[in-house]
Amino acid sequence: MENILAHRMTTSSPTLGRAGRIAAWVLMVLAGLVVLGLVSVTIGPRFLPYQALIVRSGSMSPTIPTGSIVFYRKTQAAKVKVGEVIAFSKPGDPTEKVTHRVYKIGQSATGLYFITKGDANGSPDDWRVPAVGTGWIAVFHVPVAGYALVYLQSTLARLLLLVIPAILLGAITLYEIWQDRMQSTEP
């Protein structure tokens, strides 16, 4: 009976070790992807010619659902065409960014302007967006990722992102120290 139990323990240990290594590898890859995503969304726009914004309303649904992260590239306003999705500061509230489709391009005494419309809206927006200088044109979007980014910016998420890895690192270190001591005390 003792031999059977000992045999099972020794034969199952390498499998558990391999499963643990695979799980650790998968977790490291996922953590790397999360970090890469966070860097591309938060730091990347400061150094590279793109911008990333989170869609916070349903005005562009179903094309760009609420909670999506939209990536934009900088372009000359004169090159923007009807039908393209652009990001701009809301007229009257420069702190609010809007993502809408160019519905029409108009001409006034002061120059060209865009009339925009959200895909889910029944009529064009009331405002006119001046078509001057450079602006942002949508290149692609990642659905749902904006919800995750908003959550990751919360105090609880930041705390968990620091505490959980610290606890895991401490546990792994203690386990390795304990295992080294156990091996050195074996006859």
Same domain (yes/no): 1, 22: yes
Query: Which secondary structure element, helix H or strand E, spans residue 134, and what is its range?
Result: strand 134-142
**142 CB neighbour count, 10 Å cutoff:** 16
Cα dihedral: 42, 44, 48, 49 (round 10): -40
- Predicted local distance difference test score (pLDDT) of residue 6: 42
Same domain (yes/no): 12, 54: no
- Predicted local distance difference test score (pLDDT) of residue 185: 72
Is the peptide bond prior to 62 cis by the omega test (within 30 degrees of 0)?
Answer: yes
Same domain (yes/no): 70, 111: yes
| pTM reported for the whole predicted model | 0.67
At residue 45's C-alpha, the angle toward residues 43 and 51, to 5°, is 135
pLDDT for residue 80 is more than 80: yes
Same domain (yes/no): 65, 10: no
Q: Report residue 151's pLDDT band, with 50, 70 and 90 as the boundaries.
A: confident
Average pLDDT over the chain reads: 84
Domain that holds residue 21: 1-48
Same domain (yes/no): 67, 124: yes
Tokens found for residue 187: 């006859």
Q: Report residue 187's pLDDT band, with 50, 70 and 90 as the boundaries.
A: low
Q: Report residue 19's pLDDT band, with 50, 70 and 90 as the boundaries.
A: confident
Same domain (yes/no): 141, 186: no
pLDDT for residue 4 is more than 60: no
Same domain (yes/no): 11, 43: yes
Number of domains observed in the structure of the chain: 3
Same domain (yes/no): 140, 57: yes
CATH for 65: 2.10.109.10
Same domain (yes/no): 21, 68: no
- Predicted local distance difference test score (pLDDT) of residue 15: 47
Q: Report residue 13's pLDDT band, with 50, 70 and 90 as the boundaries.
A: very low
Sheet with 50-54: strands ordered across: 50-54, 69-76, 134-142, 85-90, 93-108, 111-117, 129-130
Closest residue by Cα to residue 64 from 36, 89, 86, 46: 86
- Predicted local distance difference test score (pLDDT) of residue 84: 98
Closest residue by Cα to residue 67 from 120, 121, 142, 152: 142
Helix axes of 145-152 and 155-185: crossing angle, nearest 10 degrees: 80
- Predicted local distance difference test score (pLDDT) of residue 99: 96
Same domain (yes/no): 41, 115: no
Same domain (yes/no): 143, 131: yes
- Predicted local distance difference test score (pLDDT) of residue 81: 96
DSSP SS3 for 179: helix
Q: Report residue 186's pLDDT band, with 50, 70 and 90 as the boundaries.
A: low
- Predicted local distance difference test score (pLDDT) of residue 2: 45
Same domain (yes/no): 69, 102: yes
